A and B are shown apart, each in its own frame.
Chain A
Amino acid sequence: MGQTRLARRDLLATTAFLLGFGSSQARTYSGSKPWTEGAADPVEVVRPGAWRYLTPEEAASVGAIADRLIPADDLSIGGKEAGCAVFIDAQLAGTYGRAERLYMRPPFTSGTPMQGFQSPLTPAAQYRVALAALDAYCRAGFVGKGFADLGAEQQDKILAGLESGTVKLEGADGRAFFELVLQNVMEGFFADPVYGGNKDMAGWKMIGFPGARYDYRDHVGKHNERYTLPPVSLAGRPEWTVKG
C-alpha cells in the first residue's frame, strides 16, 4: 500500500503561517486514494502524575467537587477516585482548555440566553478564576478552610447554592462555573478511560454501557434481554494486558 501512486505535490512553500490550526497543510491529490503509513491519529493516553494545568490546591478542590457530584456509594467509586480531576486537568491543559476551536474574536457583548455564551474567558481561565473565588468564599465563611477541607454536608450545600444561584462568588459567575464543572465531571466519569477518568470503566459498569464493543449483531434481536459481556475501552480491558 505504501507504493500507491501518491501525487502529494505540495503546491506551497513551507512557510509556517499556520493560522492557528496546528500542523495543517494544504495538499493536492490526483490519480489515487492517498495512503500514508502510520497516518492514524489515536488519542494520547492520560495517566495520573504531575498536574498539567491545575495547581495542587485547585486540583484538590476539583477532586472534592467531583466526589460530591459523584459520591462513592454501593453503585460506584467516587468521582475523585475515578480520576475526574486528572481528566479535567488534562482537558484544561489542551485544546479544550484553551478554547482553540471556538470563535473568540471581539467584540464581546452580552446577549440573550438564546445567543449562547459570549464570555472572553476560556474554560481554563474560568476554572482559575472561579476556583480562587470559591476558595475565598469558603475561607471567609468557614474559618479559613478551603472547599476540600469542608465536610460533605457543607460541600453539598455550597454546590447546591452555586447550582441555584443562591451562593454568589466574588468576581466569578458561580452558576456558570457549576454548569461547567458538572459537565466536565460527568465527561470524566463516562468518557473512555484513556482520557484519565472512568477508572476501570467504573462509570460504564455503573449504568451497564459496554463501551467500545462496536458489534452487537448477536444481540439486536434479543429484545428485553440484558447484555452480559463486560465493557471494553479503546485501550482494551485490563485482563488483556500481559503483566511483567
Chain B
Amino acid sequence: MATKLPATDVVIIGLGWTGSILAHEMTEAGLDVVAIERGPWRDTATDFSPAIAPDELRYAIQLDLFLRPAQETLTFRNSPTQNALPIRAFGSFLPGNGVGGAGVHWNGQTWRFLETDFIARSHLTQRYGKGFLPDDMTIQDWGVSYAELEASYDKFEYLAGISGKAGNIKGVRQPGGNPFEGPRSREFPLPPLEMTYAPSLFAKAAREMGYHPFPTPAANASQPYTNPLGVSMGPCTYCGFCERFGCANYSKASPQTTVLPSLMRRSNFTLRTECEVLKINMDGTGKRATGVTYVDAQGREWEQPADIVLLCAYQFHNVRMLLLSGIGTPYDPRDGTGTVGRNYAYQSGSGVTMFFDDKTFNPFIGAGALQQVIDDFNGDNFDHGPLGFVGGGSLAAATTGGRPIGYRATPPGTPRWGSKWKKAAVTAYQNTATIGNQGSSYSYRDAFLDLDPTYTDRFGRKLLRMTFDFHDNERKMAAFAANRAEEIAKAMGAKQIVKRGLADHYSIVPYQSTHNTGGAVMGSDPRTSVVNRYLQSWDVSNLFVIGASAFPQNHGYNPTGTVGALAFWAAEAIRTQYLKNPGPLVQA
C-alpha cells in the first residue's frame, strides 16, 4: 500500500533537460514543485572530476551513467508478425538515467529544425503533389511553426551557452553560418569552437564543390560563459571524452552546468532521487490526473498528489508511462486508430569512412559537437522531384575523440587480430576520418510502440515493445547521402573509401543513435496526436508530456535543441495561459 504524501502544485517525472527547465520555470511562477527521478544525484565535482571522467572502459564501454536494462528495457521486433524479444543489453541507443538524464552524457550538437520540417506533410504535398509520399508514410505537421518556436529555441541556446555561427539573423544571410536555417533573432551566445584538422579538410573540399559548410552549433563552450540564470561554464579543453561521459570542465551544457545550481536553491523545489514512478493516478472521471505513485530504492510505495503532472522522462518512458497509466487510446496498427505509441521514428545514418596514408589527424583531440557540416542535402533544401524520396540529413565530418577501445577502424581486408592487425591499426589511428549523415527518419504505419504481452520489469510491469524497421524511402535517402559523402571524400584525397548505407534490417545491436522519437506526438488533431500544440494531453488537461516523444517524425538533426525549445514553449503556455485558466488550452 502506498503512503500518501502532502499534495504539491506540480509533480515532475524525471529530472533531465526538460524536467529541469520545467521545474525552474514552475518554481519561478511561485509553484511548489516535486521532481521524482529514478536515478541518483550526480554532480561535476563528485562524479565527473578529471581523475574519474576520462575512463573509456567505465563510461563508454560499460555505460556506467546510463539506464541499465536490469532496471528497464524494451522488447524489439522488426515487424508486427515477429515475436518481440527483450533488449538484454542496450546497443543501438543508450537511454540516460539519473539527475541530468541524457543531458549529462550527450555530445552537445544543438540544432534547430528547418522551417519546412514543422510543416512536413503540407509542404511536401504542396511542392511535389499528393501522390509523392508513400501510402504508409504517416508524417504530419507539428501544429506549431518554426516562427512560433523561435523565441524558445533562443532561450535554450542562451541557457546552454551554445557555440556557433548564425547563418540567418532576422532574414539577413550571415557569412560563415548555415544559409538554410530559419531566421534567428540574434547571434549565438558564443563563437564556434576552434576546428581540428579533419573537419577543416572536409569544409575546404565541400566549399570548393559549391556546398555551404559551417561549424555545428555546439553545447561545448568555446569560451567562459555565464548564462541568464547566473550559472557559469568553463571553456572546453577538447579532451575527447564527451559523448557517454560527464564533463569535468563545466564546459558541456547539461542540467548540472546550466539549471540545477539555480533550481536547487529554491525553497519551493524538492527533488527525490532513486525513486521510480509506477503510474500516473487518475480521478474517477478519467479526465484528470491526481498525482503519481512511485516506489523508492528501499522498495516502499508512496503517493504524491499534485494539481499538475509533467511527464518529462526519456521518449520511451513517456510513452510507456501513458500506456501503463491507461491514459489516451493505444495505437492500433491494423486500422491506424488510437494515438499512444503511434509514429515512432529514429534516425537513418549513413556515410563514409576514409583512409588516408599521409595524415596526422590526432583523433584524440575532440569535442562532442566539434564538426563541420553541410545542410545542402537536408530536409527539403534540395529538389526531391527527380530523386524519388523525401527527407535528408546534415552531412558532417566530426572529431569527437579517438578513444582506443572503440575507435579502431582499419582498412577493408585487415585481420582483426595478430601482428598484421597491429601494424594496420597503428597507421589507421592517425589516418582515418569519417563523414556521417544524420538522416531523417519519417514515420510509418507499421513503426510503433505498445506494451509487450510477455516480458516485465522488476516490478512486474509490462515492458514497452518496439516494432520498427527501415523503409525504402529512408534507404534511398541514406544511399543518396552516402554518395554525396563519397564525392566529398574523393575531393579530400582519401586513399580508400568505405561507404555505409542503411542495413537490410534495423538491428538493436550496433550503436546508431539515441535519437528515439514519437509515440506521444504533438499536433492539431486529437485523432492523430496525443498532445496538443502546447504538449498538453488531449485526454487529461492537467498532464503535459514533454520531450522527443512529441516529434511527429524525426528530421535530419540531433533532437536536443528542439527538445529544449519544446520545454520552454510548454512552460510558457502553462505560465501565461494554463495557470490563469486551468483546462484544455486547445479545444478538441
Contact = CB atoms under 8 A, between A and B. Distances in A.
A114 B274 contact: no
Interface string A126-159: 0000000000000000000000000000001001
A227 B364 CA distance: 10
A39 B52 contact: no
Interface string B33-63: 0000000110101110111111111100111
28 contacts: A11-B272, A14-B298, A15-B298, A21-B70, A24-B40, A25-B297, A26-B273, A26-B296, A40-B47, A40-B49, A68-B418, A70-B417, A101-B62, A101-B69, A103-B86, A103-B87, A107-B454, A109-B83, A115-B508, A116-B88, A192-B57, A207-B425, A210-B364, A211-B54, A214-B241, A220-B365, A223-B196, A227-B364
B300 interface: yes
A51 interface: no
Contacts of A27: 41, 272-274
Given A19-B299, A24-B297, A114-B506, A71 B418 contact: yes
Nearest to B89: A102
A160 to B, nearest CB: 9
B57 A187 contact: yes
Interface in B53-107: 53-58, 61-63, 68-71, 73, 76-78, 82-83, 85-89, 91
Nearest to A113: B507
Given A102-B70, A234-B52, A31 B297 contact: no
Nearest 9 pairs of A and B residues by beta carbon: A26-B296, A17-B299, A103-B69, A191-B57, A212-B54, A114-B507, A215-B237, A223-B197, A101-B68
Interface of B: 40-41, 43, 45-47, 49-58, 61-63, 68-71, 73, 76-78, 82-83, 85-89, 91, 194-197, 200, 235, 237-241, 248-249, 260-261, 264-267, 269-275, 296-300, 302, 359-362, 364-365, 402-405, 408, 416-419, 422-423, 425-426, 429-430, 454-456, 458, 505-509
B509 A41 contact: no
A68 B454 contact: no
Given A191-B57, A208-B429, 13 more contacts: A11-B296, A21-B297, A25-B298, A27-B272, A31-B267, A101-B68, A103-B88, A111-B85, A187-B57, A216-B365, A217-B235, A220-B194, A226-B360
Given A191-B405, A234-B55, A206 B422 contact: yes
Given A113-B507, A114-B506, A224-B360, A26 B298 contact: yes
B58 A43 contact: yes
A114 B505 contact: yes
Nearest to A231: B364
B29 to A, nearest CB: 18
Given A26-B297, A69-B417, A225-B360, A216 B238 contact: yes
A114 B41 CA distance: 34
A221 B194 contact: yes
Interface in A11-53: 11-21, 24-36, 39-43
Interface residues of A, number: 86
A167 B567 CA distance: 56
- A28, A29, A100 — most chain B CB neighbours (10 Å): A29
A29 B85 contact: no
B70 A112 contact: no
Contact of B297 (A18, A29, A40, A114): A18
Given A30-B270, A192-B55, A223 B365 contact: no
Contacts of A118: 85-86, 88
A195 B57 contact: yes
Contacts of B71: 21
Nearest to B507: A114
A211 B296 CA distance: 39
A22 B5 CA distance: 27
B272 A70 contact: no
B508 A114 contact: yes
B362 A219 contact: yes
Contacts of B430: 208
A180 interface: no
Nearest to B454: A107
B429 A24 contact: no
A182 interface: yes
Contacts of B362: 216, 219, 225-227
Contact of B70 (A11, A70, A104, A209): A104
A234 B54 contact: yes
B270 A216 contact: no
Interface string A52-65: 00000000000000
